[in-house]
Amino acid sequence: MNPLVSPTWLAERLNDPDTVVLDATLPPVGVTPPVDTYGRYLDRHIPGAVFFDIEALSDHSTSLPHMLPSPEEFSKSMADLGVGSGSTIVIYEQAGVFSAPRAWWMLRTFGAANVFLLDGGLAAWVEAGLPTEAGEVRCAATEFKGNFDSAAVKDFEQLQEKIADHAQILDARSAGRFSGAAPEPRAGLSSGHMPGATSLPFTELAVDGRLRSPEELREIFAAKGIDIAQPVTTTCGSGVTAAVLALGLEIAGAPQVSLYDGSWAEYAQRPEAVIEKSV
């Protein structure tokens, strides 16, 4: 199933009480001062949209960034936001393709069935001449029962097994960070890559703020030597842009996709992890 929907598709369902719209915009990495994405949400958002704060909704019992919370914690958070297990959920971000796929992946991993991404995000909505509103939106609490899909998530030990088995691992970081030529943005971490991993910067899957077509995505994966009929695990710096690759694989028709949630933030600090460089 292609999870992308158009502004027109969403506009036709916007007043449906079962439709929930989420702004899942994270600040871009490395921008100083940090972009106030919540402030931008307050200034302008799709009518009825609720702010999905990926950082706030992550596991804060670990020092690793953006890790999945427990199913119980996530279920309570979604219920409080007004997101029900049976809701039709449409996620967007304010510009580009960066963090909304992480929200899509989180919701899918915790069992939400009808989760979609607005193709082109808020920019496409505005370009279509559709209305926006300002201010915070709060929805009535509902019920969300998280049903955790363990197959969608890999931990460090499972990732090590995949490396040993020469499984397909796709890395969404920049080519420089993957090769070791560029530094990591997180202090104290070496750049480089996992043995056997393939570099595919997440930015290559989108153009002008939209994901490429299924045919184009299949061509990109094939050019990287990825057999999408076989299992693929995605990774990145902190588990956010790995979800862009996971989304692209879904659109391309890959049946078995998992995401290494700890990603490079965890891998590079583990003393037993092997780091390769190609510079």
Q: How distant, in Å, are the alpha carbons of 28, 30, 36, 61 from that of 33?
A: 10, 9, 9, 26
Is 0.85 surpassed by the pTM of this model? Answer: yes
State how far the Cα of 265 lies from the Cα of 277, in Å rounded to an integer: 17
State how far the Cα of 108 lies from the Cα of 156, in Å rounded to an integer: 21
CATH architecture for segment(s) 4-148: 3-Layer(aba) Sandwich (3.40)
CB neighbours of 141 closer than 8 A, spacing ≥ 6? 79, 80, 82
pLDDT at res. 2: 87
In degrees and rounded to multiples of 5, residue 50 shows phi and psi of -105, 145
User: Does 4-148 match 151-267 in CATH topology?
Assistant: yes
Q: Express each pLDDT in 10-60 by its tens digit.
A: 999 999 999 999 999 999 877 888 899 999 999 999 999 999 999 999 999
Mean pLDDT of the chain: 96
Identity of residue 10: L
Cα angle: 232, vertex 215, 19; to 5 degrees = 80
State how far the Cα of 184 lies from the Cα of 192, in Å rounded to an integer: 9
Residue ranges per domain, the chain?
A: 4-148, 151-267
Residue 72: closest CA among 90, 82, 59, 63: 59
CATH architecture for segment(s) 151-267: 3-Layer(aba) Sandwich (3.40)
Residue of 206, 232, 236, 259 marked active site: 236
| Full pLDDT tens readout for the chain, 279 residues | 789 999 999 999 999 999 999 999 999 877 888 899 999 999 999 999 999 999 999 999 999 999 999 999 999 999 999 999 999 999 999 999 999 999 999 999 999 999 999 999 999 999 999 999 999 999 999 999 989 999 999 999 999 999 999 999 999 999 999 999 999 998 899 999 999 999 999 999 999 999 999 999 999 999 999 999 999 999 999 999 999 999 999 999 999 999 999 999 999 999 999 999 997
Compute CA 44 distance to the chain's CA centroid, rounded to the nearest angstrom: 22
State how far the Cα of 77 lies from the Cα of 223, in Å rounded to an integer: 40
Task: Check if 139 is active-site.
Answer: no
